[in-house]
Structures are given as C-alpha cells and as structure tokens.
C-alpha cells in the first residue's frame, strides 16, 4: 500500500542541477568538452575574450606544450597572461607533457624553466601540467566541483602593467637575468629587438660574462 501511495504522491524529487562550465568556441576541435559532458557537466559554448574555460570566477588558459613554446617565441604569451589576470582566480594549464618533451623545440631548457618561474612568481599564475585531453577534463571536473559555492558576481579587476614591466617580465625568463639587469637592458636598449640584436660586447656592459650565454640562447 505504501508503494502505491508513493507512486501517486505529488512530492517529486527535483532533478539534479548540472554544473555549468563555459567553454570558448575555439575549443570545439578538442575532446575535452565531450569528456566533460560525459561526466555530467553542462557545457556552455561562448566566445570568451579571455581564457579557454570559465568555471565560476576561475579562468583557465589551456595550452598544449607546442602551443606554449610557440607563444613564448612569438611573445604572445605575455599579453595572454596579462589578460588572464583580469579574473580574481586564474591558472595556466599545460597539456601533453607525456607525449612531448617540454625542454625541447627551439627554447633553451633553462630559459623555459625561467619562464615558468616568472609565470608563477611574477604573474602569480598557478601552472597545472596534464598528460592529455582526458586528464585535462578530469582537472576541470574537480575544479568545477570545488567551485560549487554561493553565486557571486564575476568582476574583472584592472591590471595595469607598463610596457617596461612587460619587457622586464620577458627578459627575466632568461637564466641569470634578474630584475636589476633586465631594467638596465631596457634602459639602455629600449626595445626587445634592440636587445636581441645587440652585439655580445654591447650586452657585456650589463651582463658581463653572461652576455655570451645570452647570445647563445637567442641563436
């Protein structure tokens, strides 16, 4: 009798609300959104001005190892990191460390290490390394579940960085180039192009014996 009453009861269990993850339209060629949907998340496609994934107030910039190296070489990564810092919570996710050696491919391994340290310390941007797209999806899923707190507005804070600070950020990614030397290089040569094209003799006025190593990294 109790079972029959339960069938006709007007009290219904509310459907479980799916956790929403906003995904930039450029991720449509990735398998990650499909993995997230399989895990029960609601994927909302949108043209995001910043980042590839937005989970509550956390912006996630996803890059494969090859993408990251390319963006370091063409300097695009600096503007992307500046934009990423508009969000109160943000992180850089580097995917594919199993399939590709992060210390190869046109960038000296110490320069690459220096860059990663600059991202973490200067830009205060956490870095997550994942094996592949499925591993990335698992990280995003865990992040989304941890973010299930009362709704609050996403407010972008203005991060004002001067051109000199951006140049300094790039230069400090090189081994043995600290803040003082980076500032001195900028003051003397004004632009990255001038610094990179300067002779070893000119660079030695600031870098000393390290000028030779600096030129070797560029070439």
The number of domains in the chain is: 2
Q: Decide: helix, strand or coil at residue 177.
A: coil
- Summarised one tens digit per residue, pLDDT across range 161-201 is 677 877 887 887 777 788 889 889 999 998 888 898 899 99
Task: Please give the average per-residue pLDDT across 214-218, as a whole number.
Answer: 79
Question: And the tokens for 64?
Answer: 């494969």
Say yes or no: 82 and 170 in one domain.
Answer: no
Q: Domain limits at 194?
A: 163-218
Q: What is the DSSP string of 76-101?
A: HHHHHHHHHTTSSEEEEEEE-TTTS-
* Weakest mean pLDDT among 86-90, 147-151, 173-177, 188-192: 147-151
CA separation for the pair 214, 165 (Å, rounded): 20
Flag whether pLDDT at 9 surpasses 50: no
pTM as predicted? 0.63
CATH number at residue 211: 1.10.150
Same domain (yes/no): 105, 168? no
Residue 97: pLDDT over 80: yes
């Amino acid at each position: 009798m109790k079972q029959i009453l339960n069938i006709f009861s007007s009290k219904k269990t509310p459907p479980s609300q799916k956790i929403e993850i906003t995904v930039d339209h450029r991720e449509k060629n990735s398998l990650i959104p499909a993995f997230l949907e399989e895990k029960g998340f609601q994927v909302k496609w949108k043209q995001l001005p910043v980042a590839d994934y937005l989970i509550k107030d956390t912006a996630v910039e996803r890059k494969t190892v090859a993408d990251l190296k390319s963006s370091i070489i063409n300097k695009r990564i600096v503007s992307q990191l500046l934009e990423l810092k508009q969000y109160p919570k943000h992180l850089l996710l580097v995917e594919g460390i199993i399939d590709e050696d992060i210390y190869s491919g046109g960038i000296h391994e110490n320069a690459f290490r220096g860059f990663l340290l600059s991202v973490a310390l200067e830009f205060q941007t956490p870095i997550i390394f994942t094996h592949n797209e499925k591993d990335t999806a698992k990280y995003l899923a865990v992040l989304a579940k941890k973010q299930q707190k009362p709704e609050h507005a996403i407010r972008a804070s203005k991060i004002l960085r001067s051109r000199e600070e951006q140049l300094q950020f790039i230069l400090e990614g090189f081994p043995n180039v600290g803040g003082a030397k980076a500032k001195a290089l900028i003051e003397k040569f004004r632009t990255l192009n001038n610094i990179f094209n300067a002779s070893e003799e000119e660079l030695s006025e600031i870098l000393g014996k390290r000028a030779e190593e600096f030129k070797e990294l560029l070439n």
